[in-house]
Structure 1
């Protein structure tokens, strides 16, 4: 949503819905809604059993706001090396409202403009989950090379 009302409050209903949806997925180890160290977030820990053995941990952190803004970060620790990327919708000077910061470190210079679905649940379903599936496949391919 663009326009005059750019106030930002946590979209608790969307994050609660996503917590329930992620909680039903077999590759999810646990969900933490509004943990004390990330009060505006849903943190989803993925089951490392789905990844090659050198992948130590994988998680998503989702933030959603009632003005339509969101941030979804993918965090991966592999052989002691932490990598992350992020799907964003927010006003800022470096890119369009919808944009993506690729692996390995979400650098602003590498950010790419995107066009996401209006609803964050659709962004998760159509963009983020397919990206994670491709990432898992690429990690397994590189582990067998």
Structure 2
């Protein structure tokens, strides 16, 4: 059962919307391991074979906050990033934790500009994901592993970042 601050109605709406996308294999709203989230598993054939699995977790709060976590599972490595809207003392309310490791505490979150509507943020996320898998296909025989990846906020793939 979702937590009391989870926007269940929006979460279920997003689950239905995301389930209809061709790049999505399956969607589970409020699974036992993540009862406050909608978890989408993406189609692996959209990615080079070195990427074994891809997931996107969505959490929408009643007060307009959200958290979206994208994770690629590589051979023993992960490439991940996170979109957030919530009050905190360390960054802007709307912020982005860059890849390949959004939990890296040595890097600060980047200021972001997201649509006011939580549901519109889903479009921002999937636009970024399309850019990501397109970039992976540019050189599938010699991919840049997560441990070799250097994030560049000015590369054009992240138009929601604030200058």
TM-score by length of 2: 0.80
Q: Match of 1:60?
A: 56
**DSSP-derived class of the 2:125 partner:** helix
Post-superposition CA distance 1:29-63 (Å, at most 9, x none): 10010000101000000010111010001010000
C-alpha distance in structure 2 between counterparts of 1:130 and 1:144, whole Å: 24
C-alpha distance in structure 2 between counterparts of 1:9 and 1:73, whole Å: 18
Aligned residues: 137
Verify the 8 A CA contact 2:94 2:112 in the aligned structure 1: yes
Which of the residues 79, 94, 107 maps onto 1:83?
A: 79
CA drift at 1:119: 1.1
Gaps of 5+ in 1: 1-7
Q: Match of 1:4?
A: none
Gaps of 5+ in 2: 143-163
Greater per-residue strand proportion: 1
Post-superposition CA distance 1:61-120 (Å, at most 9, x none): 000001011100001112221121000001111110000001011134241011211112
After the TM superposition, list the runs of 4 or more consecutive aligned residues in structure 1 that deviate by more than 6 angstroms. none
Asked if residue 22 in structure 1 is aligned to residue 18 in structure 2, the reply is yes
TM-score by length of 1: 0.90
Greater per-residue helix proportion: 1
